[in-house]
Amino acid sequence: MKTDLQLDEETTSQGYSFGTFAGVFTPSILTIFGLIMFMRTSYVIGHSGIMMTLIMITVAHIITFSTGLSISVISTNTPVKGGGAYFLISRALGPGFGSSIGISLFLAQTLSVPFYILGFAEAVATNIPSLQPYFIFLTIVPAVLLFITSWIGADWAIKAQFFILAVLGISIIVFLGGALFKPFSMEVFAQNWTPGRDFKFFHFFAIFFPAVTGIMAGVNMSGDLKDPQRSIPRGTLFAISVGCLVYTSQVLITGGAFAREDLIHNPYAILVENALFGAGFLVFAGVIAATISSALGSMLGAPRILQAIAKDKILKSFNFFAKGAGATNEPRRAMTLTFIVTLAVLIWSSLNESGPETDAGFDPLNIIAAIVTMFFLYTYAMVNLAAFVESFGGNPSFRPRFKYFHWSISLLGAISCIAASFMIDALASFVALIVMTILFFVTSKRDMQRTFGDARRGFVYSRIRDNLIKLAQMPPDPKNWRPTITVLSGNPENRTTLVKYANLFGDRRGILSIVKIVADETVSNDNLRTIRRREMEKLNEFADDNSFNFFPEVVVDKDFDCALRIFMQSHSIGPIKPNIIMTGWPRKEERIRPFVHLMNLIGKLEMNYVAMVDTRKSRVPLIPEGTIDIWWRGMSNGSLMVILAYLLTRNDNWKNVRIRLLRLAEKQERSQELEEMNKLVEAARIDAEVKVITSDKSFPEVFRYMSGNAVAIFMGTRIPDEDDYEEFFDQTAKLLDDMPVTFLVASNGEANLMA
């Protein structure tokens, strides 16, 4: 079990140093006031009615506002670098979750580029019908120009967005003012209050939702901000608030200004025709500014996400995209990939041309809007989950500067996102979930070996603490008995078979500890830590080399018996205490008496004891052949023996091995014993073959004949008096000489086969 390795953060090149307004608010609000505002909001109002559209806005902003709060909390609790939401998620939930969501977010931002370009082309074709036959050029040319602009650098692009923001603001005033002062009517408002006949809430919610996804545009610039911990919360929450206010105003005003048919069939044209002062050209300028600026924001953001994923070196196939260009680390390799995907989508869309005559419910623009919605919903869900884990886990390191937050907000946001995704399109949501799950498992191996100091450990720690307290308050019951095994391994490299069998007993069903008692007369307060650390490293290396899952422990003392006695009384975490002590069998004569002394100590502490006798010095078979034989003498030790044998067969390689319950009986008692044993097996709910043997031969002879070819044997044993250690050892050694691996079991009675 190796110590987690910290990932190297690339610090050789730095991004820009934008402030809150330029780096977060401007790209966010430009994306929020984008294509949906001009081309689709009126369409949604026409089908959904004013009331349901307002509900959509409320639901959408509950999601985005809770996500904004979560972003604020995470971004003020850790140093923020490039990668936006990917960086925040991966540093809270680890690289596995971060990578799966990061790739999804990259795709969402990449698909947003052609989405906004299609909106631009549709607006141009609507205003200038003569350009309709050249629709593909109306998409390809802006894509190339945006790519060139992004290639030059984000600095110039951000500055250009100030001018775009001014144009956009004037455009919004013009079309809202025109609708309010010209055709607005309370009668029309009342007619449009309720939904139309073809209304499906989540269908139209999916079309509208991309309007509020712009909050990621500013977050994605995290690596180019002067003070991201200050700018991200302020810029994001301000953009969400302004966006909510303007969209609500648009619904109320346009819903009372235009007839339902016009809202559905001419959602953009009516804004141009009714512009304030007849300045329809300003509305046209606004939609051009909105779509192009949104596309530019996504063209800048998507490559930075991919570059951040690549820098973390979680997926080798992405490493190529880690390299940046110039002093500002421009992600030009990732930008090229974004451009290629954009061109592919635009060509496909042009073959299914989206224009003013196209049914707005089924055109490529709406299809891409729904896909983008799904990706963003899952991204938002993970951002909220990350904040929930950080906060609810109670890590002392969770000290965000942003204080207006409670974990319940993030939990509500995460649940809302996932619920909305399934309501919109259950199949698409399920497919997206499967894709992200696959990506998670692809990165899970690397995930366990690398850490960002994320919150998972603190969250798990918090759950374990609470569960331990609950467990301690629950009275133990035989139905809930599980093996908590402590193996006194000595040098485990010399007793690998012992540890492997212990691992088979406890794998996925119990807890295994490997304990090494180091008796060293030279130990002192000065060298105790050094000796213990050295031995712990050896145990960890042994676990890694053999792929074992156990908890290592080392006790160092001058006196072995004293160390062992204290350890066995104190080794526990609350209610989780060892209930089985497992050892090997002494190979040297001088170890016999200490071994029997150990058995007595375990018995006096009322622990279960299992000793593995392996005179053949065999290995654990990869494909076991033979039977597991349990020699039955009664319930006192029998229950634990059967349970351990059953646990052995729960392992994949042992599932076809047959268990046999064997008993030696007198001839006149055979029928009765056989009936009782079969009833026992039936009541115990185990698959086992019962054999009651009658013979004139001695038990050792019968034992060797019946179990000589077994793969494993279980026998009950008594704990001998310390004065009788020689007789006990001689009899046992003689019986088990050259026999298969045998487990001698002394039970304390807490394991009940009938539970």
User: What integer pLDDT is reported at residue 356 of this predicted model?
Assistant: 40
**Residue 173 clears pLDDT 90, i.e. is over it:** yes
What does the pLDDT read at residue 703? 92
Taking residues 341-356, what's their average pLDDT? 76
Lowest mean pLDDT among 167-171, 210-214, 366-370, 581-585: 366-370
CA dihedral 132→137→139→145, nearest 10 degrees, is -140
Query: How high is the pLDDT of residue 338?
Result: 93
CA distance 560 to 551: 21
Q: CB neighbours of 687 closer than 8 A, spacing ≥ 6?
A: 658, 659
Mean pLDDT of 677-693: 86
What domains can you pick out in the chain, each with its CATH number? 17-458 (1.20.1740.10), 478-746 (3.40.50.12370)
Could you tell me the pLDDT band of residue 13, with boundaries at 50, 70 and 90? very low
β-pair type (608-613, 742-746):
antiparallel
Q: Write out pLDDT tens, residues 26-49.
A: 888 988 887 789 888 999 999 999
The first and second tokens of residue 697, run together, are: 């031969």
Give the number of other Cβ atoms within 10 Å of residue 611's Cβ.
Answer: 22
* Residue 556 pLDDT grade (very low, low, confident, very high; cuts 50, 70, 90): confident
Phi first, then psi: give them for residue 690, nearest 5 degrees: -100, 130
pLDDT tens per residue, range 204-233: 988 888 888 778 777 877 777 888 888 999
What is the reported pLDDT for 255?
A: 94
Return the higher-pLDDT residue of 487 and 297: 487
What is the predicted pLDDT for the residue at 4? 39
**How many alpha carbons fall within 13 Å on the CB side of residue 519?**
8
In this model, does residue 516 exceed pLDDT 50? yes
Q: Is the pLDDT of residue 373 over 80?
A: no
Q: Are 555 and 517 in contact (CB under 8 A)?
A: yes
pTM: predicted TM-score of the whole model, two decimal places: 0.62
Is pLDDT of 581 > 80? yes
**For position 458, what pLDDT does the model report?**
66
Tokens of 501: 């069998």
User: Cβ-count burial of 356 within 10 angstroms (0-12 exposed, 13-18 middle, 19+ buried)?
Assistant: middle
What percentage of the chain reaches a pLDDT higher than 90? 21
Q: Give tens-digit pLDDT for 159-171.
A: 777 888 899 999 9
**Structure token digits, residue 736:** 């088990």
Judged by average pLDDT, the poorest of 256-265, 362-371, 722-731 is 362-371
Query: What is the phi/psi pair of residue 89, to 5°?
Result: -70, -45
Q: How many residues does the chain have?
A: 755
Mean pLDDT (whole number) for 132-158 = 85
CA distance 344 to 331: 20
What is the rounded distance in angstroms from the CA atom of residue 755 to the CA atom of residue 753? Answer: 6
Residue showing tokens 């670098």: 81
**Diameter over CA atoms, the chain:** 117
pLDDT band at 10, cuts 50/70/90? very low
Residue 553 confidence (pLDDT): 87
Spatial CB neighbours of 647, under 8 Å, sequence gap ≥ 6: 483, 504, 505, 506, 509, 510
d(CA 83, CA 10): 12
Tens of pLDDT along 393-445?
665 557 788 888 888 999 999 998 888 888 878 877 887 788 777 777 776 55
Cβ-contact 325, 152 below 8 angstroms? no
What mean pLDDT is reported for the chain? 83
Averaged pLDDT for residues 615-620? 84
Q: Look at 390-399, 423-432, 515-524, 676-685 and tell me which has the smallest mean pLDDT.
A: 390-399
Cβ atoms of 488 and 581 closer than 8 Å: yes
In the beta sheet, which residues pair with residue 450? 5
Percentage of residues in the chain having pLDDT higher than 70 = 92
User: What is the average per-residue pLDDT within 573-579?
Assistant: 79
Helix 280-311 × helix 332-351 angle, to 10°: 130
pLDDT-derived band of residue 531, with 50, 70 and 90 as boundaries? confident
Alpha helices in 312-425 (DSSP H): 332-351, 364-392, 407-424
Which has more confidence, 517 or 459? 517
